[in-house]
Structure 1
Amino acid sequence: MNPPTLPTEEVIPLIVSQLCEYGYTQLASVVAEQTDTPVDLTPSSKLSELLYIAKEQDECDEMQPCEIPDEDPDSDESSSPGEDGVYHSKYLTHVDPETRNVPKPAPNYSTWYMTTHRAASTCAIFSGDGKYAATGSADASLKVLDTSKMNSRSDEDRPVIRTLYDHLAGVNDLSFHPNGLVLASCSDDQSIKLFDLSKPGVKRSFRYLQDTHIVRSIAFHPSGDYILAGTDHESVRAYDVKNFQCFTASTVPGDQHKGGITKVRYSTNGSQFATSSMDGSIKIWDAMNGRCITTIENAHDGVPVSSVKFSKTGKYVLSGGRDSIARLWESISGRMVLQYEGAAHKDNTLQTTFTYNEDYVLSSDEVHNTVVCWDSRTGKCLKRWGGHASTIRCIAASPTEPGFISCSDDFRVRYWNLD
């Protein structure tokens, strides 16, 4: 049976609009004329968005265990380690707390590269293809790093390829546009700024928007057309990147948070987004209509929730909170699946995340200033790594390889990878 497709009269206008979006207006006119399509040369990226979402969904489908031959579809154990010594898993598709898998061996990470800001290093992010990373600081600056140069471990390479200055206060979060050429940052100065990385020598933003509250977290939609913002206000904002028109999520009673928002993150295909809040709750939202789908009240025993992140398949949400326990939730039901205990997290807003293959969960211990690693499927604490001299505010994992970055109040940024 052939898969369903859009009719020709719907596809051709999308092609014409997409050609206009790319600047091929004359070619778009020819296509419209040759296909007897009513001429509407209004630029639109809708076709590109639909293709992106379809591509992401196709990749998510390929992650499902039923696509992998000779394996139990209800099993979520990792495969054997490859030649690089890394366990290549099927991502988190089935975690059953009643059936504990054998924990994986602890990974052997060490610091491969280190750089410093002039004040506390507060946040980090990798581009979608993993080629670049960016860090932000309380000194209001940003650094862009070349991942390949950090991996080379050569004294001759200089991984910091750009330092950006345009904020008036500390940087709280970062997000790469899906094209990898634009970096967005948010700050205590109540602004979101966009930097064009394709232009050499540019150190200041080419666009910005001003909010009325401190902006704590931002995230680009996978299409790149919208940027989500969480602020000290209880309402979630979504900005159109082209005209910066602001949309707010549902104002229906019960949908909104009751306190400031600490983290916003989209699912892989962009159909949903998750938010965490100072009010102690986690919310899952429909990205199309802005309605809240699921609310997890008192997610961390009523204390503030510091971070939230979707698994790659969208089935689970990982959170970190000031009860010193990281938790894994079913995104649809809101049911807690697993806990990751053993790291002190009480006073600061810290980051909890997956490694690139979701075999491990990483967070930090604010008492001992260590990076802490758990087996993602068993919850067993496997390893701790020291090196920082103060609180580790953020851990950001590469989406394509085992490397990750840690940012600390000791002004240092450390890039870690497997030995």
Structure 2
Amino acid sequence: METTALSQDEVLSLIVSQLAAYGFSQLAQTVAEVTGAMVELAPSSRLSELLYLGKEQDESEELEPTEFPTEEDQDEPMEGSTDSYSKYLDFDIETKPIPRPFPDYTQLYYTQHKGPCRCAAFSADGKYAATGSHDTSLKVLDVAKMKNRSGDAGDKPVIRTLYDHVATVNDLSFHPNGLVLASCSDDQSIKLFDLSKPGVKRAFRYLQDTHIVRSICFHPSGDFILAGTDDNSVRIYDVKTFQCYTTPPTTADLHRGGITQVRYSSTGALFATSSADGSVKVWDGVSGKCVRSIENAHAGAPVSSVRVSRNGKYVLSAGRDSFIKLWDVGSGRELVRYEGAMHSRESLQAAFTHNEDFVLMGDENSYTVLCWDTRTGALVKKIQGMLLFIIQLRW
């Protein structure tokens, strides 16, 4: 009889390794001891990757014909492409890049802060968007209302305006449950807002640092917040206890300047940091050890942003040398370079589109958003209509 399932030992090994990758090392050890599984406690995100692929397969089998195109229809692989083309960016299995048609993005909604908007974020479920401003305020928007405005007075997309910072808001991050929004600021604080309580405009919890906090990112478990400040050491805050952990004080591992951005991988097994010292670093999400350091990533210019691909194999960086670069984490090698956007005065940030087929960043001279094919580096689109340069893009 043909075997259609993994053995118990294989499943337990995947569970233990995934728990370790999420940062639950003690729980992973307990599971291994209770089950008597002969497994190594090495962190691995293999289980989450297999579940993701299985979920994608189930959804593709359940799709029913519809009258109008859906998002899944637009992201279908083109003829001749591999099934995994839009699931993961993977140069190891893609032998020849296939050009993808750029989606036609249109403005759905427009709202203003009293000062420049410095950052934006979406909740993991896509229900909410949030913006942070130089005017110290945050706005929370209902995505469904932005997409389907009826014009009624009670149908306004901005559902909450939050006030609790006393200086510029630099970054935002939604808790994985979508009910808590974290923000960081020039006022050296990280503040957490409870979105489940209507009418509450102040933070219910805050973390005070000793330096300006430039960037934050929730761990996929929601238990920790990664933070980058004008100090050269990464902070990891325990949300429940407020305890602060820092990267090991090994001179070779630390940045030599302030940290401009921090981002976890999709599983939390890795996180990446960019710095004003011109370097990009990738760290083990469990041990906190630096596993890849890319010095002079942008010819010595400050690096303003960093992103980790969904499979954790690549990092995307943008520097004030006006280049965006895609790096291989395993080798530290530059794979693709994206050119054409002026980026020398402001700390602009680059981002992947939702399926990682394209890279986007604002141009500080033309007030446009430029779009490149992720795999080839070809400039494929310029999105017009901006009144000022775009600092941050989020998917």
TM-score range, shorter chain: 0.7 to 0.9
Q: Does the CA contact (< 8 Å) of 1:95 and 1:337 recur in 2?
A: no
Question: 2:285 corresponds to which residue?
Answer: 287
TM-score w.r.t. the length of structure 1 is 0.76
- What is the CA–CA distance in structure 1 between the aligned matches of 2:12 and 2:391, rounded to whole Å? 47
Question: 1:2 corresponds to which residue?
Answer: 7
Tell me by how many angstroms 1:108 deviates. 1.6
Judging changes above 3 Å, is the alpha-carbon distance between structure 1 residues 302 and 332 closer, same or farther for their aligned structure 2 residues?
A: same
Question: 1:79 corresponds to which residue?
Answer: none
After superposition, where does 1:121-132 map in structure 2 within 5 Å?
A: 121-132=117-128
After superposition, where does 1:156-305 map in structure 2 within 5 Å?
A: 156=152, 157-305=155-303
Question: 1:115 corresponds to which residue?
Answer: 111
- What is the CA–CA distance in structure 2 between the aligned matches of 1:205 and 1:124, rounded to whole Å? 18
Equivalent position amino acid for 2:50 in 1: D
**Deviation sequence 1:24-81 (CA, Å, 0-9, x none):** xxxxxxxxxxxxx9xxxxxxxxxxxxxxx7874434555999xx99xxxxxxxxxxxx
Q: Which one scores higher on RCO, CA 8 angstroms, separation ≥ 6?
A: 1
- What is the CA–CA distance in structure 1 between the aligned matches of 2:204 and 2:136, rounded to whole Å? 17
Identity %: 57
Provide the alpha-carbon RMSD of the alignment: 2.5
Q: Does the CA contact (< 8 Å) of 2:353 and 2:360 recur in 1?
A: yes
| 2:343 matches 1:345 | yes
Equivalent position amino acid for 1:111 in 2: Q
Question: 2:362 corresponds to which residue?
Answer: 364
Equivalent position amino acid for 2:201 in 1: K
Tell me which of 62, 87, 93 is aligned to 2:75. Answer: 87
Tell me which of 136, 144, 147 is aligned to 1:151. Answer: 147
After superposition, where does 1:31-46 map in structure 2 within 5 Å?
A: none
- What is the CA–CA distance in structure 1 between the aligned matches of 2:374 and 2:149, rounded to whole Å? 29
Tell me by how many angstroms 1:87 deviates. 2.7
Tell me which of 105, 124, 134 is aligned to 1:138. Answer: 134
Judging changes above 3 Å, is the alpha-carbon distance between structure 1 residues 341 and 118 closer, same or farther for their aligned structure 2 residues?
A: same
Tell me by how many angstroms 1:150 deviates. 1.0
Equivalent position amino acid for 2:108 in 1: W
Tell me by how many angstroms 1:215 deviates. 0.1
Q: Does the CA contact (< 8 Å) of 1:327 and 1:337 recur in 2?
A: yes
- What is the CA–CA distance in structure 2 between the aligned matches of 1:139 and 1:238, rounded to whole Å? 27
TM-score w.r.t. the length of structure 2 is 0.81
Judging changes above 3 Å, is the alpha-carbon distance between structure 1 residues 64 and 277 closer, same or farther for their aligned structure 2 residues?
A: farther
* Structure 1 residue runs without a partner (length 5+): 11-36, 38-52, 70-81, 398-419
For the residue of structure 1 that corresponds to 2:75, the secondary structure is coil
Q: Which has the higher strand share?
A: 1
Judging changes above 3 Å, is the alpha-carbon distance between structure 1 residues 199 and 55 closer, same or farther for their aligned structure 2 residues?
A: farther
For the residue of structure 1 that corresponds to 2:139, the secondary structure is strand
Equivalent position amino acid for 1:58 in 2: L
Question: 1:323 corresponds to which residue?
Answer: 321
**Deviation sequence 1:232-255 (CA, Å, 0-9, x none):** 000000011001101101211210
For the residue of structure 1 that corresponds to 2:147, the secondary structure is helix
Judging changes above 3 Å, is the alpha-carbon distance between structure 1 residues 161 and 391 closer, same or farther for their aligned structure 2 residues?
A: same
Q: Does the CA contact (< 8 Å) of 1:138 and 1:171 recur in 2?
A: yes
Q: Number of matched residues? A: 340
Tell me by how many angstroms 1:99 deviates. 5.9
Q: Does the CA contact (< 8 Å) of 1:91 and 1:313 recur in 2?
A: no
For the residue of structure 1 that corresponds to 2:360, the secondary structure is strand
Q: Does the CA contact (< 8 Å) of 2:213 and 2:228 recur in 1?
A: yes
Tell me which of 33, 48, 58 is aligned to 2:50. Answer: 58
